[in-house]
Amino acid sequence: MSEFKIVAATGCPTGIAHTYMAQEALEQAAKAKGISIKVETHGQIGVENALSEAEIANADAVIIAADKDVHAERFVGKRVIDVSVSKGIKEATKLIQDALDGKGSIMAGETSSASNSDQKIDAAESLENKTNIGRLIYKHLMNGVSHMLPFVVSGGVLVAISFLWGIYSADPANAQYNEFAANLKTIGGLAMGLMVPVLSAYIAESIAKRPGLVVGFVGGLIASNGGTGFLGGIVSGFLAGYVIVLLGKLLQKLPKSLDGLKAIFLYPVIGVFVTGLIMTGISAPMESINNGMMDFLAGFQNSSPIVLGVIVGCMCAFDMGGPINKAAYVTGTALLAQGNTYFMAGVSAACIAPPLITGFAVLFFKDYFDSNERNAGLVNFILGSTHITEGAIPFAAKDPIRVIPVMMLGSSIAAVLTYMFNVQVPAPHGGFLVLPVVTHGLLWVVAILIGSIVGGLLLGLIHKHIIGKAPVKA
């Protein structure tokens, strides 16, 4: 085994699949080259396989394959290769080679200790300066979404369960009133109500580290109370983060002895004041924009379910967990918090379909897939049923020109039928596990199966055409 040592950190917004797929890809690529690597994962359950200070200090290179904040300030003074989590999956071998070739950038900052607020902000800013602006915005946004998701899942499901006692089960004046259901709705509503502040807080935290957290949280509360919805949460998160970055620059001439005062007093007080004042001022126009967008989507749902379904289906299946998929998913998740459960129904259907398409393809045309593909396809029935789209990626990666359009078609059919059946899904994740709380759940399953079977037949026929008439030997 070579003495060359690499440490890596992976993380994706949902923290369910991409995070661990990138970890496995990097470990296998390093093993193939005889390189020592340790990969820290930032999944939905938290940090696993954590890197120690000594491991980071002894590393020859650092690979960050993440679409969220993975505390990059720890790597000050190290050579860092910073890419998206999807590149960590698809280009793991190249990333390992790049590390061996000395590619990447030295992260600027004070190497002695990145423990105080100013050093962390400086280190984060150093990484930002070397990162594409589009990816940077996406990364900050996804850090907020990643932390927001558990609130939406818990709140959405509890509110939906409360409706099992009747749509007016929380109204004491109605005959359907049930005390337990009313409590469920109250608890779920509180969780959903935290969505915008948490989104804002962790966008700001991604930009300005811990000093940004409290400012982003307060800005998000103002956005939430002002009726600006998730759009206001996004604006307040970025505003709070960059207000703290600006304060860091303005206060950097103060004596070192005042560092503690900055962290505990100046950053939160001035940051909250400035961010709060601006958010208060723009809440009214942002509320109008938010209401306009909701009306626009509601109009699409009622008048053009086909157009909406095709747009949602194509977005969800185009990159399966990538930025375009996440744009549709985040919109659906955000709308859930505002009581719109229709949009998310189509998004969920479109995300569930791709892995099921691969499953039906290997089921119908098993003789034209090798044993690895057959096993992966059958496992995808489980992954798809639990809303893990990423299981279809290995099939798409082998032949993206042919496979991705098939996935987009199957997902579009599933989404269009979902909207036409007026299905409502109150949870942003879980797949068929949340069926008991889905309105018109049976029709939702039918819509997804039709899209998946059509896609599976097409994918199988295409694969048969590529392979030729001779079946593949297992």
Residues marked active site are found at: 12
Tokens 């208060």: give the residue. Answer: 280
Contact 459, 358 (CB under 8 A): yes
214 and 272 in contact (C-beta within 8 Å)?
yes
Contact 435, 442 (CB under 8 A): no
| Partners of 106 in beta bridges | 79
* Dist CA 272 CA 292 (whole Å): 28
Q: Tell me how crowded residue 381 is: count the other CB atoms within 10 A of its CB.
A: 17
Is 160 within 8 Å of 153 (Cβ atoms)?
A: no
Long-range contacts of 91-95 (CB under 8 A, 24+ apart): 92/22, 92/25, 92/26, 92/28, 92/29, 93/29, 93/32, 93/33, 95/26, 95/29, 95/63, 95/65
Tell how many helices (H) and how many strands (E) occur in the chain: 19, 6
Per-residue burial over 397-418, b = 16 or more CB atoms within 10 Å of its CB, e = otherwise: eeeeeebbbbbbbbbbbbbbbb
Collapsing DSSP to helix, strand or coil, 43 comes out as: strand
221 token code pair = 């509360």
**Which residues have a Cβ under 8 Å from the Cβ of 233 and sit 6 or more positions away?**
144, 195, 196, 197, 199, 200, 203, 220, 223, 224
Three-class SS state of 16? coil
